[in-house]
Amino acid sequence: MRITGGTLRGRNLRAPDDASVRPTSDRARQAIFNILLHNDFGISLEGARVADLFAGTGALGIEAISHGASFCLFVDNAAESRALIRENVEALNLTGVTKIWRRDATDLGPMNTGSGGPFDLVFLDPPYRKNLIAPALVELRDGGWLSPNALIVAETAKDEITPSTDGFVLRDERIYGAARICLFNFASA
């Protein structure tokens, strides 16, 4: 695994030793960032505040920082994932622009001041076929974690139904290999 673009392009990321974590493929990550950089979703990567939920290796959030994001909060409930994220963050000297939290992304509660939010861009990459995206979207919306018009990039298995939740507008949807990538804008009131 490696960073596919931006200032850290080509740098290696530590990958899991087994199948307990399913990182977004380099190809899908590169496609996601090409979409983000070449379409108008109402946000800019430059200076964006990012949250990477179900973060796994942290590849999506690190890629966002490589493309100009100013901060990333990584959230994962698994100790193994947080260890991988920490290794990757430290290897790339990103400790000053990141935080790593142990938390269930479907039970975030209200955003607190130590989180670094509200967030302009959120990545949701939960385990496939567990129906975790809709509850995570509800937590983000109801907990005040999102800036107005925030963009959410969600990854599911390609055969999963696109999740829908009040307050979010599906802007784009694409299939890359085994993955379905859905891009939602937060429709703040």
User: What CATH number has the domain bearing residue 105?
Assistant: 3.40.50.150
Question: What is the residue whose two structure tokens read 């800019």?
Answer: 44
Report percent pLDDT > 70 for the chain: 96
Residue 155 lies in a domain: yes
How many folded domains does the chain comprise?
1
Q: Would you state the structure tokens that stand for residue 142, as one six-digit string?
A: 């109801």
- Encode pLDDT of 116-126 as tens digits: 999 999 999 99
Please give the Cα distance from 39 to 49 (Å, whole number): 18
Q: Is the pLDDT of residue 110 over 80?
A: yes
Residue 101 lies in a domain: yes
Residue 17 lies in a domain: no
Residue 16 lies in a domain: no
Cβ partners under 8 Å of residue 157, min gap 6: 128, 129, 178, 179, 180
Identify the band that residue 163 occupies on the pLDDT scale cut at 50, 70 and 90. confident
Task: Provide the mean pLDDT of the chain.
Answer: 91
Lowest mean pLDDT among 28-32, 89-93, 109-113, 165-169: 28-32
Q: Would you state the structure tokens that stand for residue 15, as one six-digit string?
A: 């990958």
Side-chain half-sphere CA neighbours of 3 within 13 A: 20
Phi, psi (degrees; rounded to nearest 5) at 78: -90, 130
Q: Is the pLDDT of residue 59 over 90?
A: yes
Residue 57 lies in a domain: yes
Identify the band that residue 18 occupies on the pLDDT scale cut at 50, 70 and 90. low
Which of 103, 85, 105 lies closest to 95, judged by CA? 85
Residue 121 lies in a domain: yes
* Cis-peptide into 148, omega within 30 deg: no
Residue 65 lies in a domain: yes
Q: Is the pLDDT of residue 189 over 60?
A: no
Residue 19 lies in a domain: no
Range(s) of the domain holding residue 71: 6-11+25-186
> What DSSP designation does 114 have?
G
